[in-house]
Amino acid sequence: MGQATHLSRAALMFLSRREGLKEVATGVPALRRIARRFIAGETLEEAVSAVKELNARGLTVSFDHLNEAVRNADETLDEVREYQRLLARIDQLGVRGNVSLKLTQCGLLLDPELALRNAREVVADAKRRGSFVRVDMEQGEVTQATLDVVRALHREFGEPHVGAVLQSYLHRTEADARALCAERIRIRLCKGAYLEGPGIAFQDKKDVDENYLRVMRILLDSGLYHGIATHDERMIQETLAYARKKGLPPGAFEFQMLYGIRRDLQERLVAEGHPVRVYVPYGKHWYPYFMRRLAERPANVWFVMKNLVKG
């Protein structure tokens, strides 16, 4: 990773954590309008409307309610209720989708046991409805705690109803992938969107990509249904080539991409017969997620600057 790129990414990640800027940014109409490129709306019904359009184009989805800054146990219960409303709406409308859940929203930084209880409520509801909860991975300091919760949920609810996320920029991910696959836990593999130090994460894009491909092969060898989450066309082509080599049918795994990014690639893969799931975030607390999307790709920053100038 080039030094200038690393510094700009570090600056954007720093800004994503500034509470004062969150309040300012979410109150700027022009910025809120631009954020709609990456966020499906601030309300559940706005997200549902966006998802209906994605379903009509042959894409499945995973809803994510944005709110990483819960401050107390009462606020975590609000998140549980929001996910229960979301699962009910998916069921009622027959939307082709499931949900993604961050454990910090369930109280992981307050009390891991509280987070487990709250996540259990969401997964229990999903199981009753025949749905699935993807437990998102967050910053490195909570990686182990997150996997501990996923394992506990998986022991109770099983493979069809809960899965994990692994990030290829972490040194530990190859070992985690082997262990989770042995336990029959479904995985979404992504590169990672948080800023981590050299003690736990690869710093060079080449190393992140090589680890991504190593882990992708572990997933495709496992016989489980995993999500290969990337917008990188090289990673996609390498995945398809390995699947062909192993004789895997198109439905043996799915590609996953983010709402508003590489729509052309999403639709092209669907047209070629590959399942594609779009990660659809919504909610009023969109600022940290939005800043991470800017930090991932310089092109996203230019998109924002161009549109701010236009007003």
Q: What is the CATH number of the domain that holds 90?
A: 3.20.20.220
Say how many domains are in the chain.
Answer: 1
DSSP string, 240-268: HHHHHHHT--GGGSEEEEETTS-HHHHHH
Place of tokens 């100038």: 309
> Could you give phi then psi for residue 75, rounded to 5 degrees?
-70, -30
> DSSP state, 110?
T
Is position 14 within any domain? no
Is position 297 within any domain? no
Is position 293 within any domain? no
**268 is in which domain, residue-wise?**
39-285
**Strand-strand pairing, 133-135 and 254-258:** unpaired
Is position 239 within any domain? yes
CA 3 to chain centre: 27
Whole-number pLDDT of residue 79: 98
Residues of the chain with pLDDT under 70: 1-30, 296-311
Whole-number pLDDT of residue 292: 78
Enumerate the β-bridge partners of residue 56.
none
Is position 300 within any domain? no
Is position 292 within any domain? no
Whole-number pLDDT of residue 289: 86
Is position 299 within any domain? no
157 is written with which tokens?
Answer: 């609810």
| Angle between helix 3-16 and 298-310 (nearest 10) | 60
Q: Which sequence positions are flagged as catalytic?
A: 136, 188
242 burial via Cβ count (<10 Å: 0-12, 13-18, 19+): middle
If we measure between CA atoms, which residue out of 261, 253, 265, 257 comes closest to residue 219? 253
**What is each CA distance from 188 to 13, 273, 290, in whole angstroms?**
23, 20, 20
Whole-number pLDDT of residue 3: 46
Interatomic CA distance for residues 162 and 126, integer angstroms: 9
Enumerate the β-bridge partners of residue 227.
188, 254
Is position 48 within any domain? yes
